[in-house]
Structure 1
Amino acid sequence: MFSAGYWNNLMVINTINVRRISFQNIEKLRTLVLQVLKNPCTKIIFDLKGVKFIDSASFSIIDELVDIARRHSTTFVFANIDEEVQELFELIPETKSYRIEEIPAAKEKIKAEVLV
């Protein structure tokens, strides 16, 4: 499950019990990000803590979402990427321009207004 919370002009998207991002759940993420972008925010932090795998089709959709965020003048940040997923990021050329950070308290920083 994906959830989002707004805090201080940024959105944090959390993965709750999500170990894999694939064709089975990527549309839920896409819908959530598009919903988040309806609200003004300067940054979307996608907290990938606990995610162990992202399939190639999902990377394609994630790349699309990063581009949409840029068109909305919103920075898309990937946070707390596990080593296995980091290796996948390194294999895909499009991810070279992605912003990746360690934000250990991402979930604690939001005032949990769950959107989905």
Structure 2
Amino acid sequence: MPTILLLICSNIFMTAAWYWHLKGGMSKPILLVIFISWSIALVEYCFAVPANRIGYANGWTGAQLKIAQEAITLIVFGGFMVTVLGEPLHWRHLAAFGCIMAAVGFLFAGK
């Protein structure tokens, strides 16, 4: 459970680092945007690195850690896309999420 919670925190910060500037920030100088994004990403790494170390130490494979992170990323980004960017959720987003969740199922099956 700590692995999942840390990955969720990590993804919230990384989504913010990568996409915060798209909503109303296009007038900011790119070097400023990069500096701010790197600052946010530093916090993300403080969650991601322990998440992966804890997960790996508890028997998760590298592939399981990565696919779990991807599934969490889609959930976090979906919420960000709708609430911050104001973009609609489409059936294709749900279908893509379903494919990722199937991949999660394949990698964790029999574990």
TM-score by length of 2: 0.31
Q: Which has the higher strand share?
A: 1
Q: Which has the larger radius of gyration?
A: 2
Give the structure with the larger helix fraction: 2
